[in-house]
Structure 1
Amino acid sequence: MEYRRMGRSGLQLSVLSFGSWVTFHKQISDNSADELMGIAYDNGINFFDNAEVYALGESEKMMGRVLKAKKWDRTSYTISSKAFFGWRGKENKPNQTGLSRKHLTEACNEALQRLQTDYLDLYFCHRPDKNTPIEEVVLTMNTLIQQGKILYWGTSEWSGVELMEAHRVAQHYRLIGPSMEQPQYNLFERNKIENDYLEVYKNVGLGTTIWSPLAAGLLTGKYNNGIPEGSRLAIEGFDWLKERWIMQDKIEKVQQLQLLANELGCSLPALSIAWCIKNPNVTTAILGATKKEQLIDNLTALKAVELLTSEVVGKIEAIMQNKPVIAEY
């Protein structure tokens, strides 16, 4: 396993990590979660990702039960939660969502209870909140750090401008700014990592814990001939994923990528994940495997990185035709 420092922080995260979005509670049981987290940990993964909204709190409860049973040294791994959407779904009332001091503080305390831990290593603002002053957000996160409830705070799906504003406020009040961001990044979704955050990397540093490196499973090739029963895109309530990803031009690109993976002698998922972590601005790519075989295959991405020569990367770019245009000032 390779470990990378999270932006300019001293924290080291495994370049591959394990997350629970969609899978925990909805697709897999405690026994499966226990097996998958065990395989991940035994292979050097030290970051496990979660959020209040995943399965409306049940995902964190499941991960908490597994971690309690594993009895791993707490200093040997990192866990996260995220706050914004709340966990009560349609039952959410005012102040049970967003980034107010009230919700961030209460959501943190609830996450600690569900995960059965004394502190969160990483705590994310799951989306930007236009209704809460950025000063309130930064000060609240700084307070949670001072209280020892969280160690690092970050954001998810914020823009580069919003990140720099958070850092401006933090520097002005001598508070701790965001250390990491969790954007989507894969062969189809590239702009934030490769374009929008360039000034952030350069000016203040930024760790990235990227999600959906396989584009909701599209980059596994399993949707090339329709949607298999029991797959992520077949789950009720995730129709928006289906509409976004299952488009003919994307399928055709995946089919071409599959041929390239065959030439290289690796799986398409491994090639796709390897492409993500080849980017030095990616701290860690979060895996969401539901089966032992999938996770073991995903882990081969560590070796597949070596196959990504400039020539191979050029072939991938020729297939994708979507490299972000970098704005010149």
Structure 2
Amino acid sequence: MVNYRFLGNSGLKISEITLGNWVTHASQVSDDAAVRTVHAALDAGITTFDTADTYANTAAETVLGDALQGQRRAGLEIFTKVFFPTGPMGPNDTGLSRKHIFESIDGSLQRLQTDYVDLYQAHRYDHETPLEETMQAFADVVRQGKALYIGVSEWTAEQLREGHALSKQLGFQLISNQPQYSMLHRVIEGKVVPASEELGISQIVWSPMAQGVLSGKYLPGQPVPAGSRATDDKSGANFISKFLRDDILEAVQRLKPIAADAGLTMPQLAIAWVLQNPNIAAALVGASRPEQLADTVKASGVVLDDDTKAAIDTALGDVVFSDPEDTYTVSPKQRLV
């Protein structure tokens, strides 16, 4: 069964392996398969589910809401996000303006079939809306009981500091950040994690398996597997492309004996590695089939010894993305519509 961790400086506990539905629900898999996967997650002790209004242009929220019907609401932690364009993608159908936040939370609650979400997240930083307007809108959403806590995604250390200060002034808690993080992508370690530790903010990390590259199934000098994420533009092919260099794929192959020595599969090693960082509250995983989760959840509670972690660093060498300046390039400078 899955272990639980506190989310930021709050009393909220979440499952340290969290099921996300970015490229699966209403996209890669049928609705029936999505329901079976959600139920398999629940059976494994996963109680935390992450989605966003922009996934499949709102349809992923609907699928998750349907899949969770009949479950005890107080026993679940449901997360969603706001920022990216949705609906007909008009000029106010994006960003973190008061108008878009208020309209988006109501739409998300309707699709998720719930009166509130446990965590409402700014999916990116909005450079075109005053931060004071955004944080006041979030404060009002919390006071209305539509969200219990507020989080963000891919914010820089400075943005986290500014947002945290405003949240304290406005009387609510900013408790989480959702960045990309894996053995291969460690850009948050330099600035974001130290600032978050100081502020009482946890990371809920996405792509702990580097879009599947850390499974070891992508081989250097070989075509990508048919039907894999690398072949599907709807499934994050642009995100995985940077990891498909031969030097990276060769380094990943060197992880296989390390995983075997630790008694782990490659996916388990990747997720367990992420969870060794005490600032990480949860690793976000996706699954298109229930049996994938049966392997993944075994990473919960695994402790990697210092020799294993050192061997991982040696195997990967200099192919790791670690420049903290990369955190400043994620949020778009202008809205996307």
TM bin (shorter chain): over 0.9
Give the alignment of 1:1-329 within 5 angstroms: 1-68=2-69, 71-88=70-87, 91-171=88-168, 173-192=169-188, 194-224=189-219, 225-237=222-234, 238-302=236-300, 305-306=302-303, 308-321=304-317, 322=320, 324=322
Distance (whole Å) between structure 2 residues aligned to residue 213 and residue 199 of structure 1 = 19
What letter is aligned with 2:314?
A
User: 8 Å contact 2:268–2:299 — kept in the other structure?
Assistant: yes
Aligned CA distance change for structure 1 residues 326 and 61 (closer, same or farther; 3 Å) = closer
- Kept in 2, the 8 Å contact 1:33–1:66? The answer is yes
Question: What TM-score do you get using the length of structure 2 for normalisation?
Answer: 0.90
- SS of 1:203's equivalent? helix
RMSD: 1.8
Q: Number of matched residues?
A: 319
| 1:81/1:124 contact within 8 Å kept | yes
Tell me, yes or no, if the aligned pair for 1:166 and 1:177 is still in contact at 8 Å: no
Percent same amino acid among aligned pairs? 37
SS in 2 for 1:114: helix
Matched residues in 1 for 2:185 and 2:49: separation?
Answer: 22
Give the stretch that moved more between structures: 142-151 or 217-226.
Answer: 217-226
- Would the aligned equivalents of 2:118 and 2:148 in 1 still touch at CA under 8 Å? yes
Q: Deviations over 1:139-158 (max 9, x none)?
A: 11010000000011110000
How far apart are the structure 2 equivalents of 1:72 and 1:93?
A: 35
Give the CA deviation at 1:313: 0.6
Question: RCO greater where, 1 or 2, for CA within 8 Å and sep 6 or more?
Answer: 2
Q: Deviations over 1:23-78 (max 9, x none)?
A: 1111111211111111111111111000011111111111111112xx11100011
AA aligned to 2:114 is T
Q: Distance in 2 between matches of 1:198 and 1:277?
A: 14
Secondary structure in 2 matching 1:26:
helix
TM-score by length of 1: 0.92
Moved more, 15-24 or 201-210: 201-210
Matched letter for residue 311 of structure 2: K
Deviations for 1:69-117, whole angstroms, at most 9, x for unmatched residues?
A: xx111000111111111223xx411111000000011111110111111
Question: Contact 1:138–1:176 at 8 Å: present in 2 too?
Answer: no
Gaps of 5+ in 2: 326-337
- Structure 1 residue runs of 5 or longer lacking an equivalent are none
